[in-house]
Amino acid sequence: MFFFTDSKFKLISGILLFSPFLAINHLAHATPQSASQICSDSEQWSWPIGKYSPKEAWRDEFSKSLTKEGSKIRGFSEALALRRQSQQIEDQAFSAYWISRMFYASGFIHIAEEGFSSLALQPANLRTSDFQMAALGCLISIHQHYPAIPISPKIIPNLINFHHWLSLDSLSIFRGITWKAAFLLYLRNPTLPEADLGKLFDVLRGSGAMENLSQAIQDLKQNESRAALDSFELFLHVVEAGLNHTGLVSNPTDEDTEFLKPYIETAHLLAARSAYQLGLYEKAIHHYQEIGLRSNSRIQALNEIGWSFLMLEKYPEAIGTSIGLQLGPMRQAFAPEAPMVMAMALNEMCRFPESMGAIQNFKVHYRDVYFWLKNEAASPARSSEEIYLRAISFEKKLPGPSVPPQIASEWLRGLNFISNQERLNLIIQEKSRREGMSQRGKKEQKMLTSQLLAETLNIHKKISELNKKNKIDQIIRDSVDRSIRELKLKLVHLKRLRIAGKFWRKIMNHDASRAISTRKVIIQDISREITKLNQNLLAQLDEIAENNELVEVEILNGASDDMIWQNAHPQFREVTEKIVNQAHKKDTASVWNWGLTHLGTAGSGEIWEDEIGSLSADLTDECENRDRYLQVEQRESR
* 304-340 confidence digits (pLDDT tens): 999 999 999 999 899 989 888 887 778 888 999 999 9
Q: Per the domain annotation, does 334 fall within a domain?
A: no
* DSSP 8-state code for residue 263: G
Collapsing DSSP states into helix, strand and coil, what is residue 140? helix
CA–CA separation, 428 and 421 (whole Å) = 11
Q: Per the domain annotation, does 24 fall within a domain?
A: yes
Which of 530, 555, 580 delimits the end of a domain?
555
Q: Per the domain annotation, does 21 fall within a domain?
A: yes
More confident residue, 514 or 614: 514
How many structural domains are present in the chain?
A: 2
Q: Per the domain annotation, does 437 fall within a domain?
A: yes
Q: Per the domain annotation, does 59 fall within a domain?
A: yes
* 342-401 confidence digits (pLDDT tens): 999 988 887 888 888 899 999 999 999 999 999 999 999 899 999 999 999 988 888 777
CA–CA separation, 469 and 509 (whole Å) = 56
CA–CA separation, 389 and 383 (whole Å) = 10
pLDDT confidence bin for 602, thresholds 50/70/90: very low
Q: Poorest-confidence range of 31-40, 71-80, 134-143, 274-283?
A: 31-40
Q: What CATH number corresponds to the domain at position 478?
A: 1.20.58
- Parent domain of 501: 416-555
Q: Which residues touch 417 (CB under 8 Å, ≥6 apart)?
A: 391, 411, 526, 529, 530
More confident residue, 74 or 241: 74
**629, containing H or E segment:** helix 622-636
Which of 515, 539, 555 delimits the end of a domain?
555
Distance of CA 616 to the CA centre of its chain: 33
Mean pLDDT of 204-223: 92
Q: Per the domain annotation, does 108 fall within a domain?
A: yes
Q: Per the domain annotation, does 345 fall within a domain?
A: no
Judge whether residue 249 has pLDDT over 80: no
More confident residue, 436 or 582: 436
Mean pLDDT of 595-611: 40
Q: Per the domain annotation, does 537 fall within a domain?
A: yes
- CB distance 125 to 23 below 8 Å: yes
| 443 to 14, 274, 360, 446, 487: CA distances (angstroms) | 22, 60, 70, 5, 19
Which of 520, 555, 590 delimits the end of a domain?
555
